[in-house]
Amino acid sequence: MQDSKLREQICDLGRSIYDRGLTHGSTGNISAKCEDGWLLTPTGSNLGRLDPARLSKLDWNGKLLSGDPPSKENFLHLAMYQERERNQAVIHLHSTHSVAVSVIDGLDPNDLLPPLTAYYVMRIGNLPLVPYYAPGDMVLADAVRGYAGKHHALLLANHGPVVGGSSLAAAADAVEELEATAKLFLMLQGHRCRPLNAEQVADIKRRYPAG
Ligand SMILES: [Zn+2]
């Protein structure tokens, strides 16, 4: 895809995410592979007001090639791309319901959310919790790298989701599905629930192999 078109897509997606309250203030960052590196939203930028010309372009060592200085969370994206060759885009948000799930004690850290819907199984499937490290702590990058080989969707404890996809649209669909499911999960607290059973989950995975 042309660099200029991809830049427009990142900015359009950022505005859509921000306008729907899926991240707030200057939190959240979006990246996508381009012809000669990858594009990332700049540090301190508000996803609702991105400028296509000022997006950070980086090489595969994380060095800035052009544009504004990159998000301080650039290493999260780089770790995902390094471990997931086929991913074309990565989105990290501080989406409220997902963050709430990342704070609840006592959930299975290998798989935080039950298979409430078929779309959750198709777009996320399995969601591990990455232990808490302070933002910017490089140990967090190593931790993400440890999970990214097996998982395209991770939830950082007390922080938020990191999701990779085969395209910008696929990554957006997945992170939004995660946020919607986290919201459902919280709404259902205190109710007797009937998540999909193992046979139903296996059937969905057969019909829609993970991308
Ligand atoms: Zn963050």
Output the CA 3–ligand 1 centroid distance in Å: 25
Spatial neighbors of 48 by CB under 8 A, at least 6 apart, are: 14, 15, 18, 19
Output the CA 194–ligand 1 centroid distance in Å: 32
Output the CA 70–ligand 1 centroid distance in Å: 13
- Choosing from 18, 73, 120, 176, the catalytic residue is 73
Output the CA 167–ligand 1 centroid distance in Å: 21
Output the CA 209–ligand 1 centroid distance in Å: 29
For the question of residue 119 being annotated catalytic, the response is: yes
pLDDT in tens, the chain (211 residues): 688 999 999 999 999 999 999 999 999 999 999 999 999 999 999 999 999 999 999 999 999 999 999 999 999 999 999 999 999 999 999 999 999 999 999 999 999 999 999 999 999 999 999 999 998 788 999 999 999 999 999 999 999 999 999 999 999 999 999 999 999 999 999 999 999 999 999 999 999 876 4
Residue 156's pLDDT is 98
- Choosing from 35, 85, 119, 147, the catalytic residue is 119
Residue 2's pLDDT is 80
Assess contact for 92 and 72: CB atoms under 8 A.
Answer: no
Residue 136's pLDDT is 79
Output the CA 76–ligand 1 centroid distance in Å: 9
For the question of residue 120 being annotated catalytic, the response is: no
Residue 143's pLDDT is 95
Output the CA 148–ligand 1 centroid distance in Å: 16
Q: pTM (2 decimals)? A: 0.96
Assess contact for 138 and 75: CB atoms under 8 A.
Answer: yes
Residue 1 CA to residue 39 CA, distance in Å, equals 13
Residue 86's pLDDT is 92
